[in-house]
Amino acid sequence: MWDMQERIALFDAERFESLGPGYLALSLAGEAGELANAMKKLWRQDERIGARDGFDAIPADHKAGIADELADVVMLCVVLANHLGIDVDAELTRKLQLIDQRLRSGYYGGEAAARSDAETLSPRHPFGADQ
């Protein structure tokens, strides 16, 4: 088991009353929504954020807020996994192997390679100006 998973289990047990899986899943969705909203706001300011090299377009002063939202998402994922008896490290290892096998077998069909450079460098903005 991942050391951080154990630390989160202790933190959860010592400080919070256990919540049901439905509540944890909805909380996770809410936190993921907060992360998506933060990224959407940045994307409106700089369309490069939608491109594969858009990581460099994220202003340094916004990275702490993004890190905070990511920590919320990861923490809730681990709390849910702990209550379900899931070893996150083992499952991530298994999933990486599965994705690797799929990539090698062509499972994903080369969709990424099929995109033109123009689409990659100048993606359509998925959010309207009023969102």
| DSSP 8-state class, residue 129 | T
Q: What angle (nearest 5°) sits at the alpha carbon of residue 28, between those of residues 60 and 72?
A: 35
Structural domains for the chain: 3-121 (1.10.287.1080)
Q: How far apart are CA 69 and CA 47, in angstroms?
A: 21
The number of residues making up the chain comes to 131
- The structure's pTM equals 0.75
Q: Which amino acid is at 55?
A: F
The pLDDT tens digits of the residues spanning 5-49 come to 999 999 988 776 667 889 999 999 999 999 999 999 999 999 999
